[in-house]
Amino acid sequence: MAEERYNRKNPAVKRILQEVKEMQSNPSDDFMSLPLEENIFEWQFAIRGPADSEFEGGIYHGRIQLPSEYPFKPPSFMLLTPNGRFETQTKICLSISNHHPEHWQPSWSVRTALVALIAFMPTSPNGALGSLDYTKDERRVLAIKSREAAPKFGSTERQRLIDEIHEYMLSKAPPVPQVSTSQSPEDQAAKSEDEVQENAVNTVAEETQEELPEGPAPAEDSITEEVQPREVPPPAVTSVQLQQTHPAPSATLQQTSPVVPRQADDRLFTWAAVGLTIAIVFLLLKKFMKANGHSAFFMDES
């Protein structure tokens, strides 16, 4: 690097050169970043996809543009490798980027920013500028594809640096987990749970059909209702039922007790009807006797 091109007394240049030396002397397996020889304010980087995520095993290249006021103003970030989380060749919106200068701290460095970028990969985009929301399966496919070759971008010098960083990351990156792209682990786990529940329901249904007497086949969607009649009523219910059966005779007695006075009333009405009948017969007989000349008999009698 032609360091003589830059004023080493400039705070930005001085800080950048310090970070370059630190990056070379203390490399990381999770990322690598170096500036262009012709412009130390432009860096090329590559990060490794975070473990236990759909990005695991992927190698994602990008570009960092440092401002002339660095480190007092934040850098801008751009991804070059398709990843399904951020748009490519578009400045992404992060709290560590120039989209939010109010959050930037001068003590932060390129290394700090790359660590934060890796942590941002599996988070929800929430509609942020430059973000994408691909499915996990699509991101896994892109992670595998990202290892095949470094992206093509810019001049020959940029491409040479990108290829160099890619070879370094390949040497440090673990193999990509082989997961079927048709179903994610969450979907497979959910499917297994559904199958277990379905088998359990079918088993209960079969046992119920065997124990119930012969009759119409029960509906599949009413298994719960069919099982309930088979439950033995608790003792408390039986005692209540027994208690409810005792008042029945008393109720019957109360209903039949008024029958006695009703019979007496019927007899009274009967005797009254008999007396009235006798009186009517007597009057008719008297009238008949008068008509035949025997009225003196009744007069003497009176």
List residues bridging with 77 in a β-sheet: 64
Where does the pLDDT of residue 196 fall: very low under 50, low under 70, confident under 90, or very high at 90 and above? very low
98/115 Cα distance (integer angstroms): 17
Per-residue pLDDT tens over the stretch 78-124: 999 999 999 999 999 888 999 899 999 999 999 999 999 999 999 99
Name the residue type at position 228: Q
Where does the pLDDT of residue 222 fall: very low under 50, low under 70, confident under 90, or very high at 90 and above? very low
pLDDT of 200 above 90: no
239/245 Cα distance (integer angstroms): 10
Active site residue 93: yes
Domain map (residue ranges) of the chain: 3-172, 263-301
Q: Is 124 helix (H, G, I), strand (E, B) or coil?
A: coil
Q: Which CATH number fits domain 3-172: 3.30.530.20, 3.40.50.620, 3.10.110.10, 3.90.1310.10?
A: 3.10.110.10
- Arithmetic mean of pLDDT, 31-56: 95
- With contact defined as beta carbons under 8 Å apart, do 132 and 84 qualify? yes
Locus of tokens 């080493």: 8
- With contact defined as beta carbons under 8 Å apart, do 61 and 150 qualify? yes
Q: Is 45 helix (H, G, I), strand (E, B) or coil?
A: strand
Lowest-pLDDT range of 158-162, 224-228, 253-257: 224-228
In whole numbers, what is the pLDDT of the chain averaged over residues?
77
229/105 Cα distance (integer angstroms): 71
DSSP 3-state helix, strand, coil percentages of the chain (rounded to 5)? 50, 10, 40
- Arithmetic mean of pLDDT, 152-157: 91
Structure tokens, 81: 């490798």
pLDDT of 295 above 90: no
List residues bridging with 92 in a β-sheet: none
pLDDT of 214 above 90: no
Task: Pick the closest to residue 39 from 154, 167, 166 (CA basis).
Answer: 154
Burial 271-293 (b: 16+ CB within 10 A, else e): eeeeeeeeeeeeeeeeeeeeeee
Lowest-pLDDT range of 92-96, 186-190, 204-208, 278-282: 204-208
For the ranges 28-42, 179-193, 215-229, the one whose mean pLDDT is highest: 28-42
- DSSP string for residues in 209-237: HHHSPS-SPPPGGGHHHHHGGGSPPPHHH
- Arithmetic mean of pLDDT, 137-161: 94
What local confidence, expressed as pLDDT, does residue 265 receive? 64
Name the residue type at position 43: W
What local confidence, expressed as pLDDT, does residue 245 receive? 45
What local confidence, expressed as pLDDT, does residue 181 receive? 44
Lowest-pLDDT range of 45-54, 126-135, 221-230, 265-274: 221-230
What local confidence, expressed as pLDDT, does residue 208 receive? 46
- With contact defined as beta carbons under 8 Å apart, do 54 and 121 qualify? no
183/23 Cα distance (integer angstroms): 39
Name the residue type at position 227: V
pLDDT of 247 above 70: no
Q: Which helix (H) or strand (E) holds 239?
A: helix 235-245
Which one of the listed residues 93, 129, 132, 289 is annotated catalytic?
Answer: 93
Structure tokens, 5: 């091109």
Lowest-pLDDT range of 121-130, 168-177, 203-212: 203-212
Lowest-pLDDT range of 86-90, 120-124, 212-216, 273-277: 212-216
85/95 Cα distance (integer angstroms): 16
- With contact defined as beta carbons under 8 Å apart, do 193 and 185 qualify? no
Helix axes 11-25, 110-120, angle to 10 degrees: 60
pLDDT of 233 above 70: no
